[in-house]
Amino acid sequence: MVSSMLYRRTAPLVLGFLLGLLMVLEYYVPTDAFRIAATSMRTWAVVIATIAIGFGLTNVVRIHYADIKSRRKGTWPFSVWMLVIIAVILVLGLTAGTQHVIYRFFFDNMFMLPYNTVVTFLCFSTFSAGYRAVKARSLEGILLLIGTVFVMMWYAPIGEILWSGFPTIGKWIYDVPSTGSMRAIMIGAAIGSAVLGIKTLIGLERGWLGRREE
Amino acid sequence: MSKKETLTILEKIDVRFIYGTLLLTLAFVTLVPIGLPFTIGEQSKKAYNLIEALPAGTVVGFVPDLDAMGWLQGGPPAIAYARHLFRRPLKIVIFVMLSTDAVGLTFSILDQVKPETLGKKYGEDWIFLGYAAGGEAAYAASADDLWRTFGGRDYYGKSLEDLPLAKSAKSAKDIPLLVVPESGGAAILFVRHWNARYQTQIICNEPPMIVPQYTAYERAGQISVVNSGLRDGAEYEKLIGQPGLSLAAMDGLSAATFLLLGYIVIGNIGFLKRKLSKEA
């Protein structure tokens, strides 16, 4: 029990602390030793991430194979199709190469085109959402309406043809209130990230361990 | 039809009618291009002038970190940037680190640009390193050592030792400018690891909805120029004198914007009249 806790909880926390400390020290103590060690750690992270892609693929195949075996209602035919496509693309890419005309055909016509079609559907639904949502129901609604109109008219060429003031005012709204608000959100998020980083480093934040406390 | 029913219709137009009018409008401007004029903004000029001012032989990083979803918005501007970079006597290092889709999309860009027709030789004038996994770790690692991050080989498996250009592009110290047309996220990572430590200049093109976030970095001097989606892509195509998909999309953008404005006005007329008649 004790040895289990040691390697499941204590060891990862200690390792995380030491490696995190190394990365922090590299910034504040710019010596060659820390720089070389930190550079190696970053390269290791790239290697581990590359392995994780293969691990992810294996997991996807395992999950969808289980769905096919159990004939999961409504989705198992799509799982079959997915595994077929994975196999075809994998074999094609590894044997013929990603520059081969058939591989490019798959990428351009069976991946990109359907994806772009879905994005285009989003355009239509966003259009109708704009019509329904942008209404002068309250003071905030009126401000949203005015801002929406001016920014839309700034961005589209037709705006400057209709009135020269549209680009000026629209750009101001984009650059000043919008950027200012985003800056405030980003500062808040940055402070939150720094606090989360410190908590993770000293072991107070343990969500990344991925298991319940015993 | 009573007045009340008319007002209700104005406020709740059937979504099929909205989709139908949008589809017809876009189909019309696609088949009958209008070619509305527009002025070139300061941001596009800044990006263009920055690249024009680079001395011959400067190593530039071109990082089209687009994903499939962002291709429609970011792809045409990426092609415009690539055309400009390849037209100039620069050395171009292409690599991606955020999206696995970006490798295939890079080939789509190169298919349009055709570097060999511009007299550019692979290995001497440009190289393609491919994709490195790891997210932020890859960005941090690439700043220190590009070769190690990409395993010492280019995308085609050639050793970087055998590519003359690769010898002048080993880390962020050798690459003073990055051009990053992307779907969102990469430029900020370059700010943290390339600009913060090596003062690398960054030109990026972002989807319009997230540009205000990147403008904050531009104001702080961490990003040199932030361009916004298709509109700045269209302006850039005008600047380089090579019309492309961004310019072609401007008529559709204008038509759809005008139509949406019309619907917003109609919806608000219906809403306000109903509200006022209720209060009366």
- Whether A149 sits inside 8 A of B13 (CB atoms) is no
- Whether A155 sits inside 8 A of B228 (CB atoms) is yes
- Whether A46 sits inside 8 A of B256 (CB atoms) is no
Pick B144's closest partner by Cβ from A39, A119, A130. Answer: A39
A21 Cβ contact partners less than 8 Å away, ≥ 6 residues apart: A201
Mutate to test the interface with B, among A42, A99, A108 (most CBs of B within 10 A): A42
Phi and psi at B180, nearest 5°, equal -125, 85
Pick A45's closest partner by Cβ from B39, B101, B141. Answer: B141
**Residues of A whose CB is below 8 A from B219:** 179
pTM for the full model?
0.89
DSSP string across A6-57? IIIIIHHHHHHHHHHHHHHHHHHS--HHHHHHHHHHHHHHHHHHHHHHHHHH
* CB crowding A166-196: b at 16 or more within 10 Å, else e: bbebbbebbeeebbeebbeeeeeeeeeeeee
Locate the chain B residue with the closest alpha carbon to A150.
Answer: B261
- Whether B134 sits inside 8 A of A45 (CB atoms) is yes
Pick A130's closest partner by Cβ from B133, B213, B260. Answer: B260
In Å, what is the CA distance from B44 to each residue of B65, B220, B228, B246? 20, 19, 9, 13
Pick B215's closest partner by Cβ from A112, A132, A179. Answer: A179
- Whether B268 sits inside 8 A of A145 (CB atoms) is yes
Mutate to test the interface with A, among B26, B108, B261, B263 (most CBs of A within 10 A): B261
Q: Which helix (H) or strand (E) holds B123?
A: none
Percent of chain B with pLDDT over 70: 96
Residue B130 C-alpha, separation from nearest chain A C-alpha, in angstroms: 11
Q: Which residue, among A37, A12, A52, has the nearest Cα to A200 in the 3D structure?
A: A12
Instruction: Give the tens place of pLDDT for each residue, B248-275.
Output: 999 999 999 999 999 999 999 888 888 8
Q: Which residue, among B235, B247, B74, B224, has the nearest Cα to A119 in the 3D structure?
A: B74
Residue B260 C-alpha, separation from nearest chain A C-alpha, in angstroms: 7
Pick B133's closest partner by Cβ from A50, A107, A149. Answer: A50
Pick B132's closest partner by Cβ from A46, A99, A179. Answer: A46
- Whether A128 sits inside 8 A of B145 (CB atoms) is no
Q: List the single range of A3-7, A116-120, A153-157, B200-204 with lowest mean pLDDT.
A: A3-7
Which residues, given as ranges, of chain B have pLDDT below 50?
none
Instruction: Give the tens place of pLDDT for each residue, B116-148.
Output: 999 999 999 999 999 999 889 999 999 999 999
Residue A182: is its pLDDT beyond 50? yes
Residue A214: is its pLDDT beyond 50? no
- Whether B68 sits inside 8 A of A115 (CB atoms) is yes
Per the prediction, chain A carries an average pLDDT of: 89
Predicted ipTM?
0.84
Mutate to test the interface with B, among A23, A127, A150 (most CBs of B within 10 A): A127
Torsion angle of C-alpha atoms A30, A17, A55, B63, degrees rounded to 10? -30
Instruction: Give the tens place of pLDDT for each residue, B103-116.
Output: 999 999 999 999 99
